[in-house]
A = this chain, B = another copy of it.
Amino acid sequence: MTVSKTAAVDAAKAPRPRKEPAEGQPESTALQMGELSELLGYSLKRAQLRIFEDFLRCVAPLQLTPAQFSVLLLLDKNPGRNQTEIANTLGILRPNFVAMLDGLESRDLCARIRSTNDRRSHILVLTDKGRAVLARAKKLVAAKHEARLNELLGPANRAALLSMLATIAREF
């Protein structure tokens, strides 16, 4: 397999949808999307990637991924639940979840405590630092990320979108 370095550099620069070619650049017409633009799965994936990129940018000072943020939120609302309950609720596979917890624990954002009821099970709790980081993250997400989405779609459409996504996640 041969891949030119120039092309690799170009691709790293522009992994996202094509912009108009700059003045003097060779013209390359946009591709025909065909059935792709009608595929719900494809559109969902593209929108989700955009939203995750923006999320990462908005909470960059705190270095939290969307998945880490969702774990912190859930631990805050459900203290004393075990690893399996949290992982299952979020739909995260166990090996991935264990790796994520290792990362959060090494940053002193959460702690695993051996359950007194079941010695094989670990209870998860937020640390004080975890609570503080979560509070800052929530503010950034609300003020920068969700507010812009709300502005883009309008509150009624945003609510309709959330509702349809929940229907798909629950019933499809």
Task: Using CB atoms and an 8 Å cutoff, list the residues of chain A in contact with chain B.
Answer: 1, 3-4, 6-8, 10-12, 14-18, 28, 30-52, 54-55, 66, 70, 73-74, 76-78, 81, 83-89, 91-94, 98, 102, 120-121, 138, 141, 145-146, 148-149, 152-153, 157-172
Contacts and interface: CB of A to CB of B under 8 A. Distances in A.
19 contacts: A1-B157, A3-B94, A3-B160, A3-B163, A7-B84, A10-B167, A16-B169, A28-B85, A31-B85, A31-B86, A31-B89, A34-B77, A42-B66, A46-B165, A47-B168, A47-B169, A50-B172, A152-B172, A153-B167
Contact of A40 (B49, B70, B146): B146
B94 A34 contact: no
B94 A8 contact: yes
Given A11-B93, A45-B66, A121-B4, A81 B31 contact: yes
